[in-house]
Homo-oligomer: A and B are copies of this chain.
Amino acid sequence: MSQLKHVTIKTISEVTKLSLTTVSRVLNGSAKKYRISDDTQKVVLEAAKKLNYTPNQAAVSLRLSRSFSIGLVVPTLSNPFFADIASIVSHSLRTKGYSVVLMDCDENEATEVEAVKLLAAQNVEGVIVIPSGIDSSHINILIKRNIPVVCIDRYYEDIPVSYVATNHYTGAFSMTEYLIRAGHTKIVCIQGSHSVVANNLRVKGYKDAMAANKKAWVKVVGNSFTQDNGYIETRLLIQKKERPTAIFTLSDTIMLGALKALAEEKLAIPYDISLVTFDNSSYLDFLACPITSIAQPVNDIANISIKLLLDTIKANANGVKLDQMKLLISPSTVYRQSVRILK
Contact = CB atoms under 8 A, between A and B. Distances in A.
Interface stretch (A172-180, A209-217, A279-287): A279-287
A259 B286 CA distance: 7
A66 to B, nearest CB: 9
A78 interface: yes
Q: Copy number of this protein in the oligomer?
A: 2
A95 to B, nearest CB: 9
Q: Assign chain A's interface to a size class.
A: 35 or more
A263 interface: yes
A229 to B, nearest CB: 12
A76 B87 contact: yes
A340 B6 CA distance: 63
B56 A62 contact: yes
Given A87-B77, A90-B104, A54 B121 contact: yes
A105 to B, nearest CB: 7
Interface centre among A52, A54, A99, A263 (most CB of B within 10 A): A99
Interface of A: 1, 3-4, 6, 52, 54-59, 61-62, 65, 67, 69, 72, 76-78, 80, 83-84, 86-87, 90-91, 94, 99-106, 111, 114-115, 117-118, 120-123, 144, 146, 227, 256-257, 259-260, 263, 281-283, 285-288, 319
